Amino acid sequence: MIFRLGELFCGPGGLALGALSAKVTCGREEYSIAPVWANDYDKDTCATYKHNICRDESSVVFCRDVRKLDMKKLSGIDALTFGFPCNDFSMVGEQKGMDGLYGPLYGYGIKALKHFQPKWFLAENVAGLKHANDGKIFAKIISEMCGAGYNVVPHLYKFEHYGVPQARHRIIIVGIREDIGLSFHVPDMLPNAPLTCRGAIENPPIPSSAPNQEFTNQAVQVVERLKYIKPGQNAFTADLPEALRLKVNGAKLSQIYKRLDPNKPAYTITGSGGGGTHVYHWKENRALTNRERARLQTFPDSFLFVGSKESVRKQIGMAVPSKGIMVIFEAILKTFANIAYRTTSSNLIHVLNKSDDAKGVFSKDKFLSINL
C-alpha cells in the first residue's frame, strides 16, 4: 500500500525525506509513502526540495503563499503533512500567537483536511504551541482537527531520543480519519540514544567535496571571545575579560556564543545566526558550517541546499530532522498494517477523539495539566 502524500509548508524536505525512508512489510504487502505534491513560499526552499526530493517531477512543487494555493487543482492524496509556521508560537520572540502574521496559517492545514479527507495526517510545531495564549490556541487547533473528522494524538517528542544528535523538542500531532477505526500510539524511544554531536559531525569525517561546507569568516573579536568559552558554556557563563563581555540587558539566552558539548547532543539548531547564535564548535574557534548543522539535523551529505549561506542556514534550522520523523512515519505505517510496536506514554499531551467534546470547546486544564 502506497500512501500518496501532500505537504503544506514543506520546507527543504526533512519531512519528505523521512517519509520516503519509512517502509513497513506485512506478509507480502509493503507499506510506504510517496510525496505527490508540496507547497512552500520560499524560492530557495522550494528549489532545495525539488533538487533532493522530486528532481524528475519538479512541477509538483508549488512555490507560492499558501493563501494563494488553489487546492482544487491539486491531485488527490491519502496523507497530509503540515509543519505550520512556528514563528508566533516559539518561546523565543514576541509570541504573538493568533495575532501574528503566521499564527492563523495552521487553518490551511484544516482546510486541506476537509477538502482531501486523507486517511491520516501529521502536523508539526514548536513546544511553545502548547502554552501560546494560555493554552487556548492549542485547544482550538486540536478542536478543529477533531472537528474535521479525525482522532488525534498530540505528543511532545524529544528528538534526541529518536536518533537525532540534537535536543530538539517538537509537538507532533498525528490524526487518523475516525471512520477508519484505527488508533495511533506514540512509538517508544530508540535504544542507544541519545547520540553525541561530536559523533554526528566527525564520524565519518565530512568529505571535502560535500556541499554547503563553507566556513564562516569570523570577526577577530568573536575568535577572541570564543577562546575563553569552554564546551557547553555561553557568553554569560564563561569567565570573559571585561573588553569581551556582552553589554546586553535582558538577552542572556543560553544559545548566545554557546559552544557545543561534544559528549552530549547539540542544543536546538535554529534558523537564526546573528548576535552570536550560529552554533559554535566545541574546540575550534568558529561557528559550525551549514553541512555540520545539516548533520545535526540528520540530513545526508548528499543533500544539497540551494541558496546563499544565510538562506541555507535558515532552511536547515527550520527543517524537521528526517531520521527522527521517520520513526513516527513508520509507527503510522505499522498502525495501518496492524503490526504491533513498542509505545510510550511519556510526554503524552492527550489522546483526543471527536467524542471527547461534542461542542468542540476544550477546557484549559485538559491540556495544561500534563507535565511536558
Q: 186: helix, coil or strand? A: coil
86 is catalytic: yes
| pLDDT at residue number 219 | 93
112 burial (CB, 10 Å; 0-12 / 13-18 / 19+) is buried
> Residue 87 above 60 pLDDT?
no
Cα–Cα distance measured from residue 28 to residue 25, given in angstroms and rounded to the nearest whole number:
7
What does 72-104 look like in DSSP terms, one character per residue?
Answer: GGSPP-SEEEE----TTT-SSS---GGGSSSGG
Q: How far is CA 361 from CA 99, 105, 129, 135, in A?
A: 20, 20, 17, 12
Are the C-beta atoms of residues 320 and 83 closer than 8 Å to each other? Answer: yes
Q: Which residues lie closer than 8 Å to 85 by C-beta, 6 or more apart?
A: 9, 102, 105
* Average pLDDT along the chain: 87
Give the DSSP H or E segment for 367: helix 364-368
What average pLDDT does the segment 346-371 reach?
41
Query: The CATH number of 2-194+321-367 is which of 3.40.50.150, 3.40.50.20, 3.40.50.300, 3.40.50.2300?
Result: 3.40.50.150
> Residue 372 above 90 pLDDT?
no
24 burial (CB, 10 Å; 0-12 / 13-18 / 19+) is buried
pLDDT in tens, 318-329: 999 999 999 999
> Residue 84 above 90 pLDDT?
no
| pLDDT at residue number 274 | 76
Strand duo 120-126 + 79-82: pairing: parallel
Q: How does residue 188 score in pLDDT terms, banded at 50, 70 and 90?
A: very high
The gap from C-alpha 275 to its chain's centroid, in whole angstroms, comes to 23
Catalytic pick among 63, 86, 146, 197: 86
Count of residues in the chain: 372
Nearest one of 192, 188, 184 to 157, comparing CA atoms: 188
What average pLDDT does the segment 123-146 reach?
86
Cell numbers given for 110: 484544516
Nearest one of 197, 186, 10 to 109, comparing CA atoms: 10
> Residue 92 above 80 pLDDT?
no
Cα–Cα distance measured from residue 135 to residue 269, given in angstroms and rounded to the nearest whole number:
25
| pLDDT at residue number 363 | 35
Q: Which amino acid is at 161?
A: H
| pLDDT at residue number 351 | 40
Cα–Cα distance measured from residue 19 to residue 25, given in angstroms and rounded to the nearest whole number:
15
| pLDDT at residue number 86 | 53
What does 297-356 look like in DSSP terms, one character per residue?
Answer: TT--TT-PPPS-HHHHHHHHHHSPPHHHHHHHHHHHHHHHHT----B--TTB---B-GGG
| pLDDT at residue number 355 | 44
Provide the b/e sequence for 74-96 (b: ≥16 CB within 10 Å).
beebbbbbbbbbbbbbbeeeebe
Q: What is the pTM of this model?
A: 0.89
